[in-house]
Structures are given as C-alpha cells and as structure tokens.
Amino acid sequence: MAAGSAELERFIEQALIAGHSREPVQQALLDAGWSQAQIDGAMQQWASVDFPLPVPRPAASLSAREAFEYLVLFTALYLSIWHLGHLLFALINVMLPQGGNTFFSVVDSSRVRFSVSSLIISWPLFVWLSWRIARAVSRQPLKRLSTVRRWLTYLTLFIAAAVLIGDLISLVYALLGGELSLRFALKALVVGTLSGSVFGWYLHDLRREEEPA
C-alpha cells in the first residue's frame, strides 16, 4: 500500500512537471483503476498556484504537546460520557424503582458522588481543550490533519458505533422476548443518545477536516 501510494505521488508530480493540468491527470488515474479518494489525497499534496513547477503543500507535523492535548481531550470525553450515563441511569432507578425498593436501595450514593465529581472535572476540561484546539486549528489549518487526532477520532467512532449497535441489539432482544419495560427502554435511550451524539458529532468533524484546505 505504501509503495503504491509513493508511485501515485511520483506519477502526479511528474505529470504536473510535464505541464499537464489536474483534470486530465485525474481522469487518467481513474481510468487506470485508482479510487477518487486516493487521487484526491495525493493531489492535495500539491498547491494550485501559478508556477512552472508543482509547489508542494506543507506537511502536517505533530509535537509532543499536541499529542498530549489530544490524548487528554479524548480521555476527558470518555470520562464525561461514562459518568453522565451513570448519573442518568441512577436517575431512572430513582424514578422507576423495581418492586418495593427505596431510594437508598436502588442508588449507591458513593458512586453517584464519584460520578458527579468526575463530571465537574472532566467536562470543563473537555470543553476548554476543545476550545483551545479549535483556536489553534483556526490559526494553523494544517493542524486539523494531525495523525493522533485522526486515529483517536476513528477510535472514538468505532467505540460509539459498537456501543450503539450493542444497544440496539439489546433493545430488540428484550422486545422479542416480551421483557421490554419502561425502565429498560429509558436506559437504552440514554445509551443510544449518548453514543449516537458522539458518533454523529465526530463523523461530521472528520468529514469537515478531510475536505480540501
């Protein structure tokens, strides 16, 4: 795969040096079997400027500080979503207790306190880091191509999709077995809403980042 990508980049460079415009080069590559995504990715390495030779765009670089910020950002996101879900589950248990359970038998106050404490720290941290990174990207758009950010975004999409699929399977299973209660349905709704929101947001963000600069 890496060798093929290098050959593609070398072909585009030589074609541009020879004076061919981008459209015929793209069409020739499509006819040869290259995908549009592969062609676009290779073409984006060369700036559309009026100059006799193809001018390369600056390559994205990653500093240790950026990697640290992204790792903390996504860790704060995971903590926020997990503990928000736990608090909503506890609220559902209080509103719809099973049998003759009382508030103290359906809710572990120490776990609720821990989730509240985690949210107080992790959510503001996530919001602040998101704002900080967005400001840095607006000043230097090339930062949006960060390798660490892309990997963590795809990992987040995978986790959110897996949780959402598992949630739907559990919901259908309970429905087919005649065991679907309001309490279970509300918890499934919480899981689906949280995972679906994360998936939708980062999918949109990823698509926006992959647009040509």
Strand partners, 56: 46
Q: 66: which 2 tokens? A: 């950026």
Query: In the predicted model, is pLDDT for residue 153 greater than 60?
Result: yes
Per the CB < 8 A criterion, the answer to whether 190 and 95 are in contact is no
> CB within 8 A of 152, min separation 6: which ones?
70, 71, 74
150 vs 31: CA distance, rounded Å: 30
Amino acid at 207: R
pLDDT value of residue 12: 84
Q: Tell the burial category of 144 from Cβ atoms under 10 Å away from its Cβ (0-12, 13-18, 19+).
A: buried
Q: What is the mean pLDDT of the segment spanning 113-118?
A: 94
12 vs 55: CA distance, rounded Å: 12
Q: What is the mean pLDDT of the segment spanning 30-57?
A: 78
Which among 8-17, 124-133, 135-144 has the top mean pLDDT?
A: 124-133
Mean pLDDT estimate for the chain: 84
Strand partners, 46: 56
Question: HSE-up of 25 (CA within 13 Å, CB side)?
Answer: 20
pLDDT value of residue 58: 66
211 vs 136: CA distance, rounded Å: 18
The SS3 assignment for 45 reads coil
Maximum CA extent, the chain: 82
pLDDT value of residue 64: 80
Query: In the predicted model, is pLDDT for residue 179 greater than 50?
Result: yes
Strand partners, 8: none
Domain residue ranges in the chain = 2-56, 64-209
pLDDT value of residue 107: 65
